[in-house]
Amino acid sequence: MTKVFEESLSLFKDKVSDCIKSNKSISITTHNDCDGLTSGSIITKALIREGAKCTIRTSKEFSKNVVQSFKTDSRDFHIITDLGGGFGNELNQTIGENWMILDHHQISDEEKENENIINSWKYGIDGGSEICAGGMAYFAAMALNEKNSDLSEIAVVSALGDRQDQGENKSFTGKNFEIANIAKELGLVEIDLDLLLVGRETRPLAEALAFTSQPFIEGLTWNKEACFSLLKSSGIELKEEGRWRVPSELDDDEKKKLIETIANFSSEKNTIELKSELIGYTYTFPREDKRSFLRDGREYSTMLNSCGRINRSGVGMAICMGDRNKILTEGEKILTDYRKMIKEYMNVLSNERWRISESENCVMVNGEDIVPETMTGSISSLIAGSPKNAGKVIILRTRAEENTIKFSSRKSFGCKSNINLSDLMKNGAKKFDGIGGGHDSAAGAKITKDKLDEFLKYLDVNVVNVSSTSNSE
């Protein structure tokens, strides 16, 4: 950890400690996706342990309206996680020094000079792959009290939810690797190389394969009958002593046979990419019940995303903070409903081919009147996860509230484009009086509807018609 990072965390500790000693109230505002819910929960739990008076709320985005709401808020101090990039000056002008940001999205050099902003990029840490907001919140929690090391478990879920398992075989790198190993040493997580099927320890094989959407396999994903037929023809025993087998019960030879069977079924040319997406490091939480969907880190992160995307953030945060009673049943129901919704949106996009246009290195998707604003990130990630889109940039748009259009962009597996999606979305949105930003490989933007044609022309020039050869490394 760099000296500058330590100094920033020390400042965070000092400001929070001052609030607690002075009996001041603290408000936490966080994003409504997995990384937001986990980072917000980590900070909230750490504050509660210190005896702080605090409340937490979620927001789908950060805006001038959110900043202005702080002015009339009864709370004395504001902590913002997984949000707030680009609003440092407005926050200073509105509430003085009574705020701090914990984030990992790319920011301007000017914002890096603001001591109230604790952002990974300030310290030479890649916020797109080496740490997420959950990781930043974890280090802030540790600065408050080293007993918060147990919150490393939630930070692992955070990194999985933000798809930062980008190392070899879906491993973590940088600070994420460090945090995961802390959790492993504490006995909170088991890390193994295994099949990356949903519900590895809880779902029957056919169901696990059908529920797996990363990678998205046309003909198998969400098609339980097709998965059952394929597995039956593979020769793999699906039952043992009358009970359906789960993926974790397969031996190494059976796992290899399963991967070959799936690869042979797929009509896509990119079978190497498909195989590499089906096996990798898994993160199992041994303290969770063996039949619980929380036992697998990736399924846990999907549940949190589902809570945020359908406006049930409170359920996700309660689970993050340890609630395992009725709220857990509610979380499972939300996850089931979420998967049904995702399936419906993907089916419509697949059937209405006019909504999708492709170039050499880009897939443009029109999700207007189909995909809700809160689901753009989930859907663009699924499309990017399809082997047929390997190597391409995915850009999805849909209608949003207040006569605006929301864009979500992703780099698919194997994409070698030098285009920085954060810069693309931020600069483009700014050019047309909108807002945008994110990471090199995942970013979003929002513009008013009357600027749509101009923004699409901007994307044509800067992405769609850019030769993949001139953008490859």
Domain residue ranges in the chain: 3-148+176-185, 193-348, 354-464
Task: Measure Cα distances from 287 to 187, 284, 290, 330, 465 in Å.
Answer: 9, 9, 9, 20, 50
Report whether 338 contacts 310 (CB < 8 A): yes
For 344-349, what is the mean pLDDT? 93
| Token representation of residue 151 | 């919150």
- Lowest mean pLDDT segment, chosen from 39-43, 151-155, 321-325: 321-325
Q: State residue 354 phi and psi, 5-degree precision.
A: -65, -20
The CATH number fitting domain 354-464, selected from 3.30.360.10, 3.40.710.10, 3.10.310.40, 3.30.420.40: 3.10.310.40
Identify which has the larger pLDDT, 289 or 9: 9
Sign of the four-CA dihedral 363, 209, 259, 160: positive
For 147-157, what is the mean pLDDT? 98
Instruction: Look at residue 253 in the predicted model and tell me its pLDDT.
Output: 93
Beta carbons within 8 Å of 21's beta carbon, 6+ residues apart: none
Q: How far is 146 from 130, CA to CA, in rounded Å? A: 22
Q: How far is 39 from 19, CA to CA, in rounded Å? A: 20
**Percentage of the chain with pLDDT > 90?**
78
- One-letter amino acid at 215 equals P
The CATH number fitting domain 3-148+176-185, selected from 3.40.50.720, 3.40.50.1980, 3.90.1640.30, 2.40.240.20: 3.90.1640.30
Residue 473 has pLDDT above 60, yes or no: no
Residue 250: which H helix or E strand, with range? none
DSSP designation for 460: I
Quick: pLDDT tens for 229-242.
999 999 999 999 89
Q: Compute CA 250 distance to the chain's CA centroid, rounded to the nearest angstrom.
A: 29
DSSP designation for 120: G
Instruction: Look at residue 231 in the predicted model and tell me its pLDDT.
Output: 94
Measured from the Cβ of residue 203, the count of other Cβ atoms closer than 10 Å reads: 22
- Kindly indicate the confidence band of residue 471, based on its pLDDT and cuts at 50, 70 and 90: very low
Instruction: Look at residue 110 in the predicted model and tell me its pLDDT.
Output: 92
Q: How far is 182 from 178, CA to CA, in rounded Å? A: 6
Q: How far is 428 from 435, CA to CA, in rounded Å? A: 9
Instruction: Look at residue 469 in the predicted model and tell me its pLDDT.
Output: 45
**Percentage of the chain with pLDDT > 70?**
97
Give the position of tokens 């969770």: 288
For 346-358, what is the mean pLDDT? 93
Which residues, in sequence order, are bridge partners of residue 79? 28, 100
The answer, as to whether pTM is greater than 0.85, is yes
Which residues, in sequence order, are bridge partners of residue 425? none
Across all residues in the chain, what is the average pLDDT?
92
Alpha helix segments (H runs only) across 149-223 = 152-161, 174-185, 205-211
Q: How far is 104 from 86, CA to CA, in rounded Å? A: 12
- CA-nearest of 409, 415, 390, 403 to 450 is 403
For 430-450, what is the mean pLDDT? 93
Alpha helix segments (H runs only) across 108-200 = 109-112, 133-144, 152-161, 174-185
Q: How far is 156 from 190, CA to CA, in rounded Å? A: 11
For 69-80, what is the mean pLDDT? 94
Q: How far is 396 from 56, CA to CA, in rounded Å? A: 30
Q: Virtual CA dihedral for 286, 292, 293, 295, nearest 10 degrees?
A: 0
- CA-nearest of 34, 15, 52 to 331 is 34
| Token representation of residue 119 | 């952002």
For 360-389, what is the mean pLDDT? 92
Q: Strand, helix or coil at 256? A: helix
| Token representation of residue 470 | 């001139």
For 61-65, what is the mean pLDDT? 89
Q: Strand, helix or coil at 114? A: coil
- Kindly indicate the confidence band of residue 269, based on its pLDDT and cuts at 50, 70 and 90: low
